[in-house]
């Protein structure tokens, strides 16, 4: 599931004419950075939700064959991260699936991070497994940390503790979490807290460099980071 339906208000004036997932970094759209990561990990199908300038995203992904794209259209009403997932569940199926934010991406160093995430997944003890980044391997992140990681990988909220890690916009989640959930606007964050309360939210630190693009002035920083990270990974 690729979450691509947001309004991208902080990216104005660029997003006055295009949706944020189609902003280009180093010649590639943010959306394609994520979809290429899924393809490299062998993911056959991706559900992409759309709301803002939906026709532009639909046209952009139409030629794509890997992964195969299924559109979940939220043109009538933006459903937020969790509501969008609930709406798409018939296409996502009954097995655990990846979630990607369409406005963050990363440069892999060594084994693919999505592949590593898949190997780390354990449905017996996890409801959600988050990919995490260290502040020092991140570009464009202007906030604090999100989670503290226990020795066994279990997570709790960091409340800004500098020893914590950032949620890197990629995860594996089990659809059982959404049983009886409404296809109404609500956030995925509540499910993180639900999983923490049950002791079933885990994290995996990523390898490589993580990039988030929140505002127009972050584009140049992102492109510089891509160039540096690609050089380093060669």
In the prediction, which pLDDT does 164 show? 93
pLDDT digits (tens, 9 = 90+) for 188-223: 999 999 999 999 999 999 999 999 998 998 899 899
For 203, how many CA atoms within 13 A lie in the half-sphere containing its CB?
Answer: 26
In the prediction, which pLDDT does 227 show? 87
In the prediction, which pLDDT does 201 show? 98
Compute the distance between CA of residue 130 and CA of residue 136 in angstroms, rounded to an integer.
18
**H helical segments located in 41-170:** 54-61, 80-92, 113-120
Pairing mode, strands 201-205 and 128-133: parallel
In the prediction, which pLDDT does 214 show? 86
Residue 39's nearest CA partner among 59, 66, 60, 61 is 66
Domains (range + CATH), the chain: 2-233 (3.90.550.10)
In the prediction, which pLDDT does 118 show? 96
Find out whether 92 and 71 touch, Cβ atoms under 8 Å. Answer: no
Phi, psi of 20, deg, nearest 5: -55, -40
Residue-by-residue pLDDT tens, the chain, 234 positions = 999 999 988 899 999 999 999 999 999 999 999 999 999 999 999 999 999 999 999 999 999 999 999 999 999 999 999 999 999 999 999 999 999 999 999 999 889 999 999 999 999 999 999 999 999 899 878 788 999 999 999 999 999 898 999 999 999 999 999 998 988 999 999 999 999 999 999 999 999 999 999 899 889 989 988 888 777 655
> Looking only at Cα atoms, what is the longest distance across the chain?
47
Going from the C-alpha of 79 to that of each of 75, 86, 187, 198, the distances in angstroms are 10, 9, 9, 25
């Amino acid at each position: 599931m690729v979450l691509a339906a947001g309004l991208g208000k902080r990216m104005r004036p660029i997003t006055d004419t295009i949706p944020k997932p189609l902003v280009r970094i180093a010649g590639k759209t943010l959306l394609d950075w994520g979809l290429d990561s899924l393809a490299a990990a062998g993911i056959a199908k991706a559900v992409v939700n759309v709301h803002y300038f939906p026709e532009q995203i639909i046209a952009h992904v139409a030629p794509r064959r890997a992964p195969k794209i299924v559109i979940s259209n939220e043109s009538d009403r933006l459903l937020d991260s969790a509501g969008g997932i609930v709406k798409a569940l018939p296409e996502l199926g009954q097995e655990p699936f990846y979630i990607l934010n369409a406005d963050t991406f990363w440069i892999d160093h060594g084994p693919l991070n999505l592949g590593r995430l898949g190997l780390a997944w354990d449905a017996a003890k996890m409801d959600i497994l988050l990919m995490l980044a260290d502040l020092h391997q991140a570009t464009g992140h202007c906030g604090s940390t999100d989670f503290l990681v226990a020795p066994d990988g279990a997570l709790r909220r960091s409340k800004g503790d500098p020893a914590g890690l950032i949620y890197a916009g990629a995860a594996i989640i089990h659809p059982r979490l959404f049983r009886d959930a409404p296809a109404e606007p609500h956030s995925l964050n509540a499910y993180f807290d639900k999983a923490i309360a049950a002791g079933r939210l885990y994290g995996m630190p990523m390898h490589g460099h993580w990039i988030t693009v929140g505002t127009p002035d972050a584009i140049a920083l992102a492109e510089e980071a891509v160039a540096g990270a690609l050089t380093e990974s060669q």
